[in-house]
Amino acid sequence: MVTVEFPDGTVRQSEKNRIKDILRDIGQNEHAVLVVIDGCLVTPDVCVKNGTEIKLISVVSGG
């Protein structure tokens, strides 16, 4: 399982292994969050191993 930490500190898990599929599994839009693994930004096409910890950062824009 992959552990996902939301910006508010909530933690969920997913059995998926591709970032895009993980985000879909937990109900997140891939264009609304940045995904960080071990301090590095990763793209939605990246596949991760079982046991990986992912941190989500909200994308905010303004005018």
| CATH label of the domain that carries residue 28 | 3.10.20.30
60 — pLDDT class (breaks 50, 70, 90): confident
d(CA 53, CA 63): 33
14 — pLDDT class (breaks 50, 70, 90): very high
Would 24 be classed as within a structural domain?
Answer: yes
Would 48 be classed as within a structural domain?
Answer: yes
Residue 27 near residue 4, CB atoms below 8 Å: no
State pLDDT tens for residues 15-46: 999 999 999 999 999 999 999 999 999 999 99
* Domain that includes residue 42, residue range: 2-58
Q: How many residues does the chain have?
A: 63
pLDDT of 12 > 80? The answer is yes
61 — pLDDT class (breaks 50, 70, 90): confident
Question: pTM above the 0.85 mark?
Answer: yes
Name the DSSP class of 29.
Answer: -
CA atoms within 13 A on the CB side of 44: 12
Q: What is the largest CA-CA distance in the chain?
A: 40
Would 22 be classed as within a structural domain?
Answer: yes
Would 46 be classed as within a structural domain?
Answer: yes
Would 63 be classed as within a structural domain?
Answer: no
Both tokens assigned to 41 = 């930004």
Would 41 be classed as within a structural domain?
Answer: yes
